[in-house]
Chains A and B, each alone.
Chain A
Amino acid sequence: MLRLVALAALCASCAGLMGCSTMEMFQVRPWEREALARRDMAWDPDPLEAQLQSHIHFAKEASLAGSGAGGGGCGCN
């Protein structure tokens, strides 16, 4: 029984090792990124707007300091 468990563990670890390679079949390949390349699929479709929003957030959030930068809180920036 112990041997069987050991073999099962070996199989499971082998499957784990090639986990990344078997995932390839589910990954979007480089030539299939048509939809992902669309402007509206970007995290920030408008970089200028995103920067403006980030600045406002930084100014309003006081000690939270917007997007992770240190300082802030005086509302003077």
Chain B
Amino acid sequence: MRTRIPNPRASAVRALTLLAVLALAVTADAVQSGQKSPAVAGARLDGQGQLSLAELKGKVVYLDFWASWCKPCALSLPALDAFRKEFPSKDFAVLAVNVDRDPALAKAFLSRRPVGYPSVFDAKGELPVRFGVETMPTSFLIDRDGVIRRVHRGFRKEDVPELRSAIQELIRSGR
């Protein structure tokens, strides 16, 4: 009976390839400014059907990832709702993604701080993985062609004027 002698070099190459594939598989790159936005679609938090980013094509979109336990989100949600009211709805929309595990917590949060824009509910955390969210909250300013123009991590009151001018500029540019 012939026994197969393992080739140490081939085994090492195989092991290195496996390690490299593993390393790539677990490293999710954050979406950068200038890249096309990944698709966003899912069930609405309020239970009124489905929602997708594609429906807002042709508008400047402010995509915000939030959670009820995230302290700066208590500041960002009212500020984003103010942006929604400030800019014409034909040019600008806010779309949120809620990442709470329990929708009741998110709904209770919204009952205390009601906003006029919809949220996609993503308890499994698939969308933050797709966008490579690195902190909570994280938001993406997306132009009319679906290209990400700005990534904003965290939220402070002092960020509002800067964000407002970025939105204004993007609406004015027609992109």
Residues of A within 8 A of B (CB): 3-4, 7-8, 10-11, 14-15, 18, 21-22, 24-25, 29-34, 37-38
Contact = CB atoms under 8 A, between A and B. Distances in A.
Interface string B132-157: 01111010000000000000000000
Nearest 10 interchain pairs by C-beta: A31-B99, A37-B69, A7-B12, A18-B23, A31-B128, A4-B8, A25-B26, A34-B69, A24-B26, A30-B136
Q: How large, as a class, is the contact surface on chain B?
A: 20 to 34
Given A18-B19, A37-B69, A31 B8 contact: no
17 contacts: A3-B8, A4-B8, A7-B11, A8-B12, A10-B12, A11-B15, A11-B19, A14-B19, A18-B22, A22-B22, A22-B23, A29-B128, A31-B128, A31-B136, A33-B69, A33-B136, A34-B100
Contacts of A38: 69
B137 to A, nearest CB: 9
B173 interface: no
B133 to A, nearest CB: 6
A22 B26 contact: yes
A24 B126 CA distance: 16
Contact of A32 (B23, B125, B134, B135): B125
Contacts of B134: 30
Given A21-B23, A30-B134, A31-B128, 4 more contacts: A8-B12, A21-B26, A24-B27, A25-B26
B11 to A, nearest CB: 8
A37 B137 CA distance: 13
Contact of A7 (B9, B69, B100): B9
A7 B1 CA distance: 29
A34 to B, nearest CB: 5
A29 B71 CA distance: 16
